[in-house]
Structure 1
Amino acid sequence: MNTTSSRQNDVQEALALLAQGRPADCETALRQILRRHENDVLCRAVCLDGLGRALFALRRPVEALDALEQSLRLLRGQADASRSSLPLLPGVMQNLAHVRLALGRAEESLALGREAAQLAEQIFGPDSPRLAGALLRLSAAYYRGRDFDEAERLMLRAKAIWEAQDGPVPPELGVCLNNLGRICEERGQFTEGIALHRRAVALRRELLGEHEDTAFSLGNLGVALASDGQWEEAAAVLAEAMGLYTRLGKGESPEAVGYRANLAVCREALQARRAVRSAAAEHLK
């Protein structure tokens, strides 16, 4: 095996650790590769992008920001010299924009996200799933800024691109459905929002089975039902989400903690409703 192929395999194996939910192992492997290949610009750019994603998954966003900014600088310089690295740029831009948004740097995130989407359309075309991913990431910044109309427009375009593709449904469509449901909730359109959350749950059950993302969609459905006053189903769905988080060893994750609090609210509401009904029944005797 030649050196280039061996290096590529090493990087792919390291990045696979992140896909397997092992960000700490991914970090270790990528740092080892970076030490071995100090003069390979493209290899370092790819590794730094993966390292940034691993660090963000480990809830170390400031370190993630530094790694991703290094990756983008290397790729921009490489793209000036060779167009072969150009297709890598939109993905790194999106990852960096995501971290900037998480750190409260919304304007910087928006600017970079727009650039990433424009570049993705230029490189991959207007019907590419790669563009759909860039549009979905960009929509998050508009949602955070409460520009729901623009966020919805971007998500609907991404959704249309994914739904027009042949082959398996991509997991990102579940994210899109979930986020569209949240926008409906923000507008007080609970019937439409609940329907979108149900679609997201069904899709993630089918594609992912017992997975943290499935639990997340269940939690969002439960919250939407609670917001609509459908306390019994909301409590049942939130309890299902909590059970799944617990089985996955994620019972104390921030998302699970939030849904547990929502479940407690639902149960309190059900108790209060039962008390009112009981008092009314006693009054009628």
Structure 2
Amino acid sequence: MFVVGYKLGRKAEAQPWVDHAEALLRRRGQPDRERAQWLHHVGMIAIAAGDSAGAEAFVSEAIGLYEKVFGPDHPRLVGLFNALGASKLRGGKYVEAQQLFERAVALDERAHGSGHPDLALPLNNLALSLERQNRYAEAIAALQRSQAILEAINPKDPTVGVIRQNVGGMLQLSGKPVEALTELTAALAHLEAALAPDHPAVAGVFTFIGDAKRDLADYPGARAAYERGCEIREKALGPDHPDLGLCLLGQAQIDLLEQKPAAALQHVDRALKNVAAATSDPGDLGLMHLARAQALRATGAAAESAEEAKLARESLKLAGVAGERGMKQLEAWEAAK
């Protein structure tokens, strides 16, 4: 169930294994340790499917059972804190996510020492929660610590490429697109060599590259990067997966910059449809509604545009500091009316 449902992201195919495992647990009287493992895996499958809200209930119950069986400081809890933190992160609960990732880092350090490879994932996740709070310098420091740990063991580890991708994304968000592009180009080369050009883990780099090139006004280059990211994800995950949301949003943003509002509307409508079944980051959702509002106004649908702008404002406000950049874009666009 874990390999098919989480590692391969095929929730429907994993369901018979989930049901089979649950039936065996019932026959055995639901022992705490095994039920905790089952809940953990079901939660991870939900996260892979984009259902972060659904994952929280499973993972929270698993944490309670593991704490009961092993105690509150057992290293087995690291993975669960990471999983719950990931669902909180996707749901826009950045401070809660940060606290869970900090617990995971502390547990791992206590159990294995400060240079153990198991620290790489919680440090990476901690950085993402800090980035959502616009704490870029702290986030990059956590990532670089994670990178150093992994490179000391295996410089070709694919996770090193993912970390460099995230550093590049944070440099772009902090207003340094040239530096970001240098880091992202290195991340792309690393991941393509370590995995394969069509591996779904490579897709995220292209979205970040698109963002950096957009900020440098290289619109054709940005569009090509977004399209490549979508192509990889669609091939691996299917056309309706929530993970296509950001590369579709990127294409819509380029459409708007190139004064193609009808194309922008098609791209952002598909992005919103794809993320509708998932627990979406409110900051990302706000940017999607903003792009849709801009496209609608440009096509003459003023009333519908105004309603979409309200949705954008609500989502960006919910995102807190992570939505500040989008909120400034919204306010500047509204002032230009």
Query: What's the TM-score once normalised by structure 2's chain length?
Result: 0.69
CA distance in 1, matches of 2:279, 2:102: 30
| Counterpart residue type for residue 44 of structure 1 | L
Answer yes or no: is the 8 Å Cα contact 1:152–1:180 preserved in 2. Answer: yes
Matching residue of 2:181: 152
Matched, 1:222 2:252: yes
Residue 23 in 1 paired to residue 55 in 2?
Answer: yes
| Counterpart residue number, 2:93 | 60
Write out per-residue CA displacement over residues 52-79 of structure 1, whole angstroms, 9 at most, x where no aligned residue: 2233233322222222112111212222
1:190 counterpart = 2:185? no
Q: What stretches of structure 1 of length at least 5 have no aligned partner?
A: 273-285
The one-letter amino acid paired with 1:53 is: A
The 5 Å alignment of 1:41-120 reads: 41-80=74-113, 86-120=116-150
Counterpart selection for 1:236 from 260, 266, 280:
266
SS of the residue aligned with 1:42? coil
Report percent identity of matched pairs. Answer: 17
Query: In 1, distance between residues paired with 2:126 and 2:184?
Result: 20
Maintained 8 Å contact 1:23/1:57 = no
Does the 8 Å contact 2:81/2:103 carry over to 1?
yes
Cα displacement (A) at 1:37:
1.6
Contact 1:184–1:193 (Cα < 8 Å) also in 2: yes
Distance in 2, Cα, partners of 1:156 & 1:252: 26
* Counterpart residue number, 1:282: none
Contact 2:124 2:163 (8 Å CA) reproduced: yes
Structure 2: gaps of 5 or more residues: 1-30, 302-337
Cα deviations by residue, 1:23-53 (Å, 9 ceiling, x for unpaired): 2222332333233321663212332222322
Instruction: Tell me, in whole angstroms, the C-alpha distance in 2 between the residues paired with 1:34 and 1:57.
Output: 24
TM-score normalized by structure 1? 0.80
The one-character-per-residue Cα deviations of 1:212-237 (angstroms, maximum 9, x if unpaired) are: 12133212201111112223322332
Q: 1:275 maps to which residue?
A: none
Q: Report the secondary structure of 1:41's partner residue.
A: coil
Q: 1:173 aligns with which of 195, 202, 211?
A: 202
State the shift of 1:172 in Å: 2.6
Distance in 2 of aligned mates of 1:67 and 1:253: 20
Q: 1:256 to 1:15 in 2, by over 3 A?
A: closer
Aligned length: 264
Q: How far apart in 2 are the matches of 1:164 and 1:150?
A: 22
